[in-house]
Amino acid sequence: MGQNRIKLTEYDMKFVNIFILIKAPHILMPYIAGMKTTKLMYLIREFFFPRGCALCGAALLGSEEAWYGLCEDCRRDLQHEEWEHNAEACSICGRPLISEIGACLSCRKSEGESEGEGRNSGHSCDRLTVVFPYTGQYRKLLGAYKFGKNPALGHFLEEKIQNLRSVLADREEAGAAVLCPVPPRPGKIRKTGWDQVEYLAKLLEGEKLPVSRCLKRLSSRSQKTLDREHRLTNLKGRFIAVKKIPKEVILFDDVITTGATIEACAAALKAAGAEKVYGIALFYD
């Protein structure tokens, strides 16, 4: 594992690098020339203000490691457990199915409850896809990105959204779909200083992907203490379209718990004229 990667020889390498940088920078030129400027910046930043790997703390050695904020070992381990998109998924929440068919047990349970009460359970999202379980290393990863405000991890997460977008494009013929970030709670950015989902939107735009911030969230009571049904009620009408709505939209969010937020967004998009709405959640609880 990553913890064993910090060896004296690797630290020595840093000093060798500094020596080369000062004494013979031309040796590095072909290497630097092949690197994206932004990647180089991350490497330089890591060189002078090292954060280390977000998961194991090992020193980040190359430009790839600095770019993703993760050491090779940890990045490989994360990908290893990545949800396979051709595996069976719940038709409602997108979580992987273990032995169920169609919808997972918890969705069927809440479905049954809402039918019994004559309430609309609401499936405005045509397909919801998830990537990582919100446990162990994955929980740590999101924590380091969201609360630790480690922007390098955004590169890792943004690639997952890109991958899922192409999966959706192939499977649902949603090639023209526009990405839309789930808008933050009003006041959240003022409080924490940044919006981690919006940051992903910026990175995706940087990759020349179509992004539209066509939804706005109105203020509402905090969702954290409510269950799914109450969340749905609480969220109804809390999202409004503020721009022309694309025909096909792919909503994306960092973490999904009850799915009520993404559902409310999808409902708002459909009400405003979207024909197909897909959802991507990086982590599922």
- Select from 39-47, 74-82, 226-234, 249-257 the region that touches Zn ion (CB under 5 A): 74-82
**C-alpha 76: how far from chain center:** 17
Query: 278 forms bridges with which residues in the sheet?
Result: 127, 250
- Select from 48-56, 179-187, 202-210, 214-222 the region that touches Zn ion (CB under 5 A): 48-56
Phi, psi of 153 (to 5 degrees): -65, -25
In the bound complex, what is the minimum distance in angstroms from residue 84's beta carbon to Zn ion?
17
The size of the interface with Zn ion (CB under 5 A), counted in residues, is 12
Instruction: Name residues whose C-beta falls within 8 Å of residue 207's C-beta, 6 or more positions apart in sequence.
Output: 158, 162
Of 1 and 28, which has the nearer Cβ to Zn ion? 1
CA-to-CA distance for 3 and 282, rounded, in angstroms? 26
Choice from 55, 197, 201, 215 touching Zn ion (CB under 5 A): 55
Site string for Zn ion, 141-180 (x = CB under 5 A): ----------------------------------------
In the bound complex, what is the minimum distance in angstroms from residue 96's beta carbon to Zn ion?
10
8 A C-beta contact, residue 236 and residue 266:
no
Q: Is 125 exposed, middle or buried (0-12, 13-18, 19+ CB in 10 A)?
A: buried
Angle at 211 between CA 210 and CA 216, to 5 degrees: 155
Of 107 and 211, which has the nearer Cβ to Zn ion? 107
Residues within window 186-225 making contact with Zn ion, judged by CB under 5 A: none
Choice from 60, 66, 78, 93 touching Zn ion (CB under 5 A): 93
Radius of gyration of the chain (CA): 21
Query: 251 forms bridges with which residues in the sheet?
Result: 180, 279
Asked if 104 interacts with Zn ion (CB under 5 A), we say: yes
Asked if 53 interacts with Zn ion (CB under 5 A), we say: yes
Asked if 59 interacts with Zn ion (CB under 5 A), we say: no
Where do contacts with Zn ion occur on this chain (CB under 5 A)? Answer: 2, 53, 55-56, 58, 71, 74, 90, 92-93, 104, 107
